[in-house]
A = this chain, B = another copy of it.
């Protein structure tokens, strides 16, 4: 009477895992080449050398496939850099984000994935989880800055981290301005300046 288990969940080993890996890799390739709009599951199946039926049965739609790809990507987290100063840490973060978005392959993949999330609620949730993990990974560098007295008590660490990458994503997705390293450094400088001025602390906009 219960709901039937999702295909792939009862025997996840061996062939099933191989098929998943091949399909996700092929999906990433296809996304990089054609974007979400030009993606069709038959093509993904062909690239993965897997039966078309399998892709339709296990994922069923483009958004669902992208959501699964995101969950796979979320598991690969990059280690955080620690320089001992907030500006150094956030500059490292900004440069990492910039390099990722400016990279032909990675950048295209992120653009495609974000576009997919803009169309589909389920994909959006997967994307939010992905970024929640990344932001949580970098938040401690702001907390350490609070402990060192670099920024006011009560500063919202996650908000500062978001403030660093937001302008970079804005450039890539919205305004189209160049994604050079100077822009990344400016993001970090601005976030640090705003945090020092207390713009991310509940107390208010006080200037220090």
Give the interface of A toward B (CB within 8 A): 35-38, 62-63, 87, 111-112, 114-120, 124-125, 127-128, 131-132, 135, 159, 162-163, 165-167, 169-171, 173-177, 186, 189-194, 196-200, 205, 207
Contact = CB atoms under 8 A, between A and B. Distances in A.
A38 B169 CA distance: 25
Contacts of A125: 176
A170 B134 CA distance: 14
A119 B124 contact: no
B173 A117 contact: yes
A151 to B, nearest CB: 11
B199 A118 contact: no
Nearest to A172: B118
Contacts of A191: 190, 194
B162 A175 contact: yes
B190 A194 contact: yes
Contact of A131 (B135, B175, B198): B175
Task: Give this chain's copy count.
Answer: 2
Given A118-B111, A174-B127, A174-B169, A196 B199 contact: no
Given A118-B111, A173-B169, A200-B190, A205 B87 contact: yes
Contact of A114 (B173, B190, B193, B207): B173
18 contacts: A36-B37, A36-B118, A36-B119, A37-B63, A128-B175, A131-B175, A162-B170, A163-B190, A166-B170, A166-B174, A169-B174, A186-B200, A189-B199, A191-B194, A193-B193, A193-B197, A193-B207, A194-B199
Contact of A37 (B119, B131, B199, B205): B119
Given A36-B37, A115-B119, A176 B127 contact: yes
